[in-house]
Structure 1
């Protein structure tokens, strides 16, 4: 038993000594690591200071020692470049009219509603015709008697009985009543307000029971045909745009595009916004309605052999516009003459051949002579 106890105490003491030794080794390693890190920091600081001192005396060393900037690239393009004037236009109708009352009376019926599409001749409203009907009945009675008297007087005149004056008076009275009756029937027809052509009722300006007078507007009516687009163009394009020029028209609300032409160019400048009117032909389209908004794209310039670059890559300094190109893994400034710009694409009229490799992403981080490393997106 004593032998076992001695062995146990001996093993315990050995294990305790071993753990203590391991702890001492670990602490030593940590201290050594800290010392190494401090040495690295000191070396880095010394390297940095030495590089700065050498760079001040040797610019070539400074350029070669600069870190490469990661960039992506794109190529200048040789392409057919087109420039368009884009303006907002509105669909109008040459058949936009106000339908007015032609006779006085009280409205007894309205058949049209705002937004309703109607056909030519369709009755939109009716004005009370009771008074006219009574007048027609009265005149018809008088005309019946006048006709009988005229026929009798004519028979007597044919027999050379009576005077010519009596015959002429009977004839004149009958004809006068006939004209009065025709006039009353015409007035009765006008108590029905009808659509003058196919179109849409834009506005109803009266109500049932309301008293109307001749010339009083009752409906605003827009025809379905003879539609056109009107836009305001800046006066800077005077002389550039002309009748017959091609126009691309886009209707954002119905996602429809079509190609048409300019039919008229205004001759007067609006002094308020310095623009002139342009009228564009619009073919008959069921989806297009009056007052619909459109975008007019009128081509005012093109170059079949243009050199183009993304417009956002063009920068400017005291000398003018420039882009960065990659040559021998370095960024180089290329000064250019910019032409027209359309839809984020700029025409370059001078300074590029069209085969250059342009700095794309990262173009604001580079400078003249910077080392660059091209990466793929």
Structure 2
């Protein structure tokens, strides 16, 4: 302390000397003597350097004596309850139940195509017709055979009633007649199958076969028809989440290729079997698609709500410290002197829940209304007095 008193004494003497020298400044300036002016400038510069060093010493003394100068400055965060939802993210793809390739049911040659790609069609509309002239010719030929078989049958029936002829002859005539009639019915049915009919309202997405092409049932596709008014998202979810994901669970569909379009929906189906190869189970989400933005096989992200708490205590991740024992704690602020914005920082261990959007749910250790250290948390020790100005 004697050292500080001596320095202060020197400062006062220096100030007194400076006051006296001010009276001589005007004299020196008015002398127009360059050497004298430069000499005076050097003298004053040296005095300024001395004063700056002494001012630093005075500031150090003030810091040592004023306890308020030593307190760490921190900001605080008031813990409140708020709704909280946690989501998991999985990859999925768009699919449609009404996305079909149409095949002929009978072999033949394409005679006419009545639609174009991109055309809207209605259920029951004739889309393509196969050549059926050969079938018609067979029917006409078979009609003659039926007429002859009918005549023979009627005569054999008449004779049989009169007990003339054998039963075998009568049965043969009867079988031949009704068999030929059934064959005609089958050929007439084949004629109906020569027309490819729209199975549902939709759009012709692709014409695969051209007029004149030979087509075969189950082998040669003729066209593709789709209806994307409603599509479904298919995805697989790890089995660890099966207890938290149910039908009607909230989801958001994100489509990166459509500038991250976000669509809210609900799970419409949950699989009951775990895939043994990857330990996943299947989910489906139905989506309205009036603008046809979603296309079959498009890749999407699915955010699935697997947890929610309407009154969760949430804090930012930056407010939490983890120690070497994998324990988590915060510094809770206990008021010490509100008028001076003084608090005591208390290390408080907490039990954490799920994380979402940089917010962590605190399950144990804090109550609604508690103040915790936010910015400056690394400057604080347990039971240390701090100052916080946003209380």
2-structure distance, mates of 1:42, 1:341: 53
1:33–1:307 distance in 2 versus 1, CA, 3 Å: farther
Q: Say whether 1:34 aligns with 2:36.
A: no
How far off is 1:307 after superposition? 1.8
1:270–1:251 distance in 2 versus 1, CA, 3 Å: same
CA contact (8 A) 1:154 1:167 kept: yes
SS in 2 for 1:179: helix
2-structure distance, mates of 1:64, 1:231: 60
1-structure distance, mates of 2:41, 2:154: 145
How far off is 1:125 after superposition? 2.4
2-structure distance, mates of 1:138, 1:93: 46
- 1:233-288 CA-partner distances (Å, limit 9, x unpaired): 1222233434x453344465565423x4553333213534x4221234x3766357
CA contact (8 A) 1:143 1:174 kept: yes
How far off is 1:126 after superposition? 2.5
Which residue in the other structure is 1:351 paired with?
Answer: 365
Q: Give the counterpart of 1:316 among 322, 337, 348.
A: 322
1-structure distance, mates of 2:36, 2:132: 120
CA contact (8 A) 1:93 1:225 kept: no
- In structure 2, stretches of 5+ residues that fail to align are 1-27, 335-340
1:337–1:161 distance in 2 versus 1, CA, 3 Å: closer
Q: Say whether 1:238 aligns with 2:253.
A: no
Q: Say whether 1:277 aligns with 2:288.
A: no
SS in 1 for 2:196: strand
1:122–1:251 distance in 2 versus 1, CA, 3 Å: farther
CA contact (8 A) 1:313 1:363 kept: no
Count matched residues.
346
CA contact (8 A) 2:231 2:289 kept: no
Which residue in the other structure is 1:257 paired with?
Answer: 264
Which residue in the other structure is 2:213 paired with?
Answer: 210
Q: Say whether 1:374 aligns with 2:389.
A: yes
- 1:323-358 CA-partner distances (Å, limit 9, x unpaired): 345555468354322111123321112222222334
Q: Give the counterpart of 2:181 among 170, 178, 182.
A: 178
Which range moved further: 217-226 or 31-40? 217-226
TM-score, structure 1 normalization: 0.70
1:20–1:103 distance in 2 versus 1, CA, 3 Å: farther
1-structure distance, mates of 2:307, 2:98: 35
SS in 2 for 1:336: strand
TM-score, structure 2 normalization: 0.68
RMSD: 4.3
User: 1:127-142 residue pairs with structure 2 within 5 A?
Assistant: 127-142=130-145
1-structure distance, mates of 2:275, 2:44: 82
CA contact (8 A) 2:156 2:169 kept: no
CA contact (8 A) 1:203 1:220 kept: yes
1:226–1:32 distance in 2 versus 1, CA, 3 Å: same
1:105–1:330 distance in 2 versus 1, CA, 3 Å: same
CA contact (8 A) 1:92 1:290 kept: yes
SS in 1 for 2:32: helix
2-structure distance, mates of 1:326, 1:33: 51
CA contact (8 A) 2:91 2:299 kept: yes
Which residue in the other structure is 1:335 paired with?
Answer: 349
- 1:51-78 CA-partner distances (Å, limit 9, x unpaired): 99x7xxxxxx797544754x65432112
Which range moved further: 158-167 or 332-341? 158-167
1:85–1:28 distance in 2 versus 1, CA, 3 Å: same
SS in 2 for 1:335: strand
Which range moved further: 309-318 or 168-177? 168-177
Which residue in the other structure is 2:306 paired with?
Answer: 300
